Amino acid sequence: MKVIGSILEASFEKGIVACLIRGEDPEDYPIGSLAIIDTDRNSYLAILNEVQYTSELNPSILMDIPSRFRDGIIPLVRDRYVNYIVRLIPVAKYSKEKKVTEKPDTIPPYGARLIKAVPDDIAIYYGEPDWRKTYPLGRPKLIGEVGYEVPVDIKNLVNLNFGIYGKSGSGKTFIANLLVGYGILYTLYNRGEEDYIDIRFLIFDMHDEYSLEVLDNNRRPIARGVANIFKKEFVIYTPDIENTTRFKMRYLPIPLYDLPSSYLRMIIEPLGVTQAFLDNLATFEKKIRKVMERSGNTILSDPGYWILGLILSMETVDKIISLIDRRETKFIDSDRSITRRALFELINAIEEEIGEAPEALKSFKAGRRRLIRLLNMPISFKKKYSRAIDEIVEYLINPKGKSVVISMGRYEKTMSVYLALANLIGERLRIKLQEKIAEGMEESPTKIIILLEEAHKFLERKAGAYSPFGVIAREMRKRGVIIVPIDQKPGDLDPDVTSMIWTNMVFALTDPKDVSAALTGIDNPKLYESIVYSLKPGEAVIYGPAVKFPVVLSIEDYSMVSREFEKRYREYLGMRRSRSLYDDDLSRD
């Protein structure tokens, strides 16, 4: 036990102030380090949030010393006249009498000993990973010590919403892959136990770092993504048709066949259509379906293609014919001229039907011009793809299902495609769960964990109240559905959503609004702000039920842990084959 200082001041609101003993070097005390405050009755765990020093000498004295003498005098001044002060945040208390750790409700007395923490001291507060229910999340900052891993409790993590925040390149994807891998291992190795939770993930993978490879900040691969390791536990879909053959993913274009206008609205709103067009969209759907039903046209007589009628215009006919020629749809005529003539007739019929209300026709034509952009997106009118999203939902909720990844492939920077697919899946999942609730489901037997990158696009202050994920975050947590916002701008999230985030993983942020939002649920958030500003890549402030007490961690190296994932998964598959436990391939049911 090495005493490094004494307590001078203590306050719940302002934290604790200690003076280091002579001879301690302030460069050994990084912001975010853990330390112990020892008293006769208790031991306190604290996080260092500021280091400073004061001198008893007038600065002008040093300035008057000739430079040739300064190097010899400065060490003497440090030892005799400089006081090093550290400020700390109390996060936990250990009662020596009761032998229990708890949230601090008292403060240490004046003169209490500040002690250099060692791994055994810290383990009293956080426990140790067992690789069955708790797993290594990262190494805390200690004053000159390493070698201890703070565990994350997976059951506590997934019981409530949790969030991952930080700037680009700070480590959000690394920790998300870690947590998903731990969730999969928990699910595999604890199945059948009394308190077991079946965990299923829905991951919106913008940069293919879950489905293919995790990249460093220079875009170089460092390890296989978690779904690429636990291959039999995931089904991977993609709107990038090239990836379906290259990586054996399932094709998921934006399915437009027989899509209701209420769903279409979520797709086209980001394309900049007017509010008048959106207000009339249900009417447009009704009228276009009516025209198609009575047309008698052998090519376009199915009202399920009504969205094609919505975007048909003189400017888009050739583009649509090329889609037909590529067999993107089921309707096709061997004679291209017949197809062209039929489409022009349909345009006229639709405009005539809608033109009964001149203002509606004007809005229709203006919106139609905006919708030309749909034709450059990965869309399909094939009927089989209209069922693909129902298939995804079934994988998530079926006890014999699997986790799902939506890998964006070459559309990683096409936000409109990402928003469209995410909203469609989110809405279908929401409706399916509400149907089950109406049937009497109290809580889903499966925890569905939704990892949502660029979460503020779905959960922002205004739209978040009405988006599928906003509704899920508010209403579905008690039904077993957990939203995980992964975002660079937590300050743009709806405060009602951030207030329901229980475990927070906060990487480096620079905007005060984002820092404030990310620290919403922690005690005395102002005391942690300087720590967040000082975080390096790979470091995070973690707080909430998944870790027993707040802590600053250097997150585990995913490239190293991924090898452990591969090893343990091979062992599991071998054990499963030898015991013939079960067949969890939903496609064989």
Q: Tokens for 420?
A: 């469209």
Question: Residue 537: which residues within 8 A CB-CB, separation 6 or more?
Answer: 169, 170, 171, 217, 507, 508
Q: Which residue type occupies 92?
A: A
Q: What is the pLDDT of residues 395-441, one digit of tens each?
A: 999 988 999 999 999 999 999 999 999 999 999 999 998 888 888 77
Q: Would you give the distance in Å from CA 399 to the centre of its chain? A: 24
d(Cα 147, Cα 117) in Å, to the nearest integer?
12
Instruction: Quote the CA–CA distance of 122 and 116 in Å, as a whole number.
Output: 11
Lowest-confidence pick of 276-290, 361-375, 452-466, 503-517 = 452-466
Query: Is there a contact between 124 and 93 (Cβ–Cβ < 8 Å)?
Result: no
Which three-class secondary structure state does DSSP give residue 218?
coil
Predicted confidence at residue 542, as pLDDT, reads 98
Sheet of strand 481-487, all strands in order from the earlier edge strand to the far edge: 150-153, 134-140, 551-555, 539-543, 503-506, 162-165, 481-487, 446-453, 198-205, 403-407, 234-238, 250-251
pTM (predicted TM-score): 0.91
Q: What is the DSSP letter of 402?
A: -
* Cβ within 8 Å of residue 24, ≥6 positions away: 4, 5, 84
Spatial CA neighbour of 238 closest among 375, 393, 401, 412: 412
C-alpha closest to that of 582 among 401, 397, 395: 401
Instruction: Give the lowest-confidence range in 85-94, 103-112, 289-298, 561-570.
Output: 289-298
Q: Read off the pLDDT band of 212 (50, 70, 90).
A: very high
- Confidence (pLDDT) at 397: 92
Sorted by sequence, the CB contacts under 8 Å of residue 57 that are 6+ apart come out as 77, 81
The pairs formed by 248-253 with CB atoms below 8 angstroms and a separation of 24 or more are: 249/211, 249/407, 250/388, 251/385, 252/385, 252/388, 252/389, 252/392, 252/406, 252/421, 253/378, 253/379, 253/380, 253/385
At 243-268, the pLDDT tens digits run 999 999 999 999 999 999 999 999 99
334 SS3 class? coil
Handedness of CA 403, 446, 181, 171 (dihedral sign): positive
Q: Using CA atoms, how far apart are residues 555 and 32, in angstroms rounded to an integer?
A: 13
31 and 535 in contact (C-beta within 8 Å)? Answer: no
pLDDT over 70 (residue 582) = no
The per-residue pLDDT for range 323-333, each reduced to its tens digit, is 765 555 444 44
> pLDDT value at position 465?
47
Average pLDDT, integer, range 555-578: 94
Alpha helices for 377-448 (secondary structure H):
388-397, 415-438
pLDDT for the residue 294? 85
- Mean pLDDT in residue range 90-104: 96
The per-residue b/e assignment along 485-510, b for 16 or more CB within 10 angstroms, e otherwise, is bbbbbbbbbbeebbebbbbbbbbbbe
Dihedral angle of Cα 180, 184, 185, 187, to the nearest 10 degrees: 130
Cβ contacts of residue 326 below 8 Å, gap of 6+?
none
**Residue spans of alpha helices (H) in 153-298:** 154-158, 172-190, 226-229, 241-246, 261-268, 275-295
State the CATH class of domain 150-255+383-579.
alpha beta
Q: Would the pLDDT of 224 be above 50?
A: yes
CA distances from 571 to 132, 134, 309, 559, 568 (A): 14, 19, 54, 19, 5
Q: Rounded to an integer, what distance in angstroms lies between the CA atom of residue 539 and that of residue 506?
A: 8
Helix 172-190 to helix 558-579 angle, to the nearest 10 degrees?
Answer: 20
Residues 540, 138 contacting (CB under 8 angstroms): yes
Round to whole Å and give the CA distance between 224 and 170: 19
CB 231 within 8 A of CB 245: no
Which amino acid is residue 261, in one-letter code?
A: S
% pLDDT > 70, the chain: 93
- How far is C-alpha 120 from the chain's CA centre? 32
- Cα separation, 404 vs 427, in Å, equals 16
For the chain, the structural domain boundaries read 3-117, 150-255+383-579, 261-376
Predicted local confidence at residue 61, as pLDDT: 66
pLDDT value at position 62?
66
What whole-number distance in Å separates Cα of residue 444 and Cα of residue 476?
10
Mean confidence (pLDDT) of the chain: 90
- For the packed helices 261-268 and 415-438, what is the interaxial angle rounded to 10 degrees? 150
In angstroms, the CA 530 to CA 520 distance is: 15
Residue 587 pLDDT class (50, 70, 90 cuts): very low
